[in-house]
Amino acid sequence: MKLNALVRDHIGRVPATDAVLAEAGRFGRGAALVDDGTAWVLLDEQPERGLGAALAWSSRQADVREVAVIAEASTGLLARRAALFTTPISVWHAVERVLVPAVAEPYPAVANIDPAHEVWRRAIAEAGAEPVEECGVFAGEIRGLEVCRVVTDAYTGETRLEVGVGVHDRESFLMLHGNRPTVEALADVVEAVVAHRNVDAPLHPLNRLGAERFLRWQVVQQPERVGAAQLRVADPPVPRANLKDPVPCVAIGESLSGEPLVVVCSVGIDLDLVPFAVDARQMHLPDAHEAAVVLLVPERDASPVTRRLAEQAVGPVRIVTSA
């Protein structure tokens, strides 16, 4: 009903109401309808991750020539990503009953780590973890899983290394082991975690968390798996909110022929993987429009819908599977 009212007020006539009612239960992130060759999609749930779902739905409908996406939040991000597809996509910001054209938002400014945090690099490495910089955060990872993070005390301004997987684990570890030498504590955590971060390890919370980042760690170690000469960890186009939610991650480098390359790793069927990936390419290589994007996913996750969306993207998008 909401979508029907928004479209009716915008186009000045009654749209295909029957289509709204028929499809309401099929589009899980909101509602959708097709009217006169335009697929109108209202993103109600997690709109920032809804463009792929909107394109996937519209690609299954007959006689759709363009897509119109409506949301009440994150429309700047959606507009930025919409421009990276060959399918004509318009993004509208809903203000009560009025649809306003969305304006693409810029990419976040490059966030460098605090120079004061560098003093912990050696300690992280000595304990057996890998120092990683991402979105201005300096952390230590074990095969893609964050096990420590350098933070600045909000009251004293001093830097410290907090050990643990996620903020709550770090707080608990600090309360239980506050007087224990940091490197010694981290080394024990590293030893406990590394046994679970293997391809053939039995299922465990420590290998279910950050599975996509384990995939990235593997390909950085063996870049030839995706036809790359070298790869390094890179920032995502949108910072991840927490460690628990599976979110694609990015690596950049060069192909074997010396061309720039962006690799995006993901685990699970993610309808927003392709919009995320082309957004990452545009962020890191704004002038290399023909640079390749490689989607590295487990073989079971190379779904037909992901391939369909990859074909709609501007610039080459290649899918590589991992056993």
Q: How far apart are CA 182 and CA 253, in angstroms?
A: 33
Sign of the dihedral defined by the CA atoms of residues 233, 237, 243, 247, in that order = negative
* Residues of the chain scoring pLDDT < 70: 16-26, 167-181
pLDDT of residue 152: 93
Q: How far apart are CA 213 and CA 233, in angstroms?
A: 10
The SS3 call for residue 57 is helix
pLDDT of residue 177: 59
Query: Left (φ > 0), alpha (ψ -120 to 50) or beta: where does 4 sit?
Result: alpha
* Domains detected in the chain: 2-101 (no CATH), 115-194 (no CATH), 210-322 (3.40.1350.10)
Q: What is the pLDDT of residues 228-277, one digit of tens each?
A: 999 999 999 998 887 778 899 999 999 999 999 999 999 999 999 999 99
pLDDT of residue 42: 96
Q: What is the pLDDT of residues 15-36, one digit of tens each?
A: 865 555 445 446 777 899 999 9
pLDDT of residue 88: 97
Q: How far apart are CA 284 and CA 264, in angstroms?
A: 12
Q: How far apart are CA 181 and CA 136, in angstroms?
A: 25
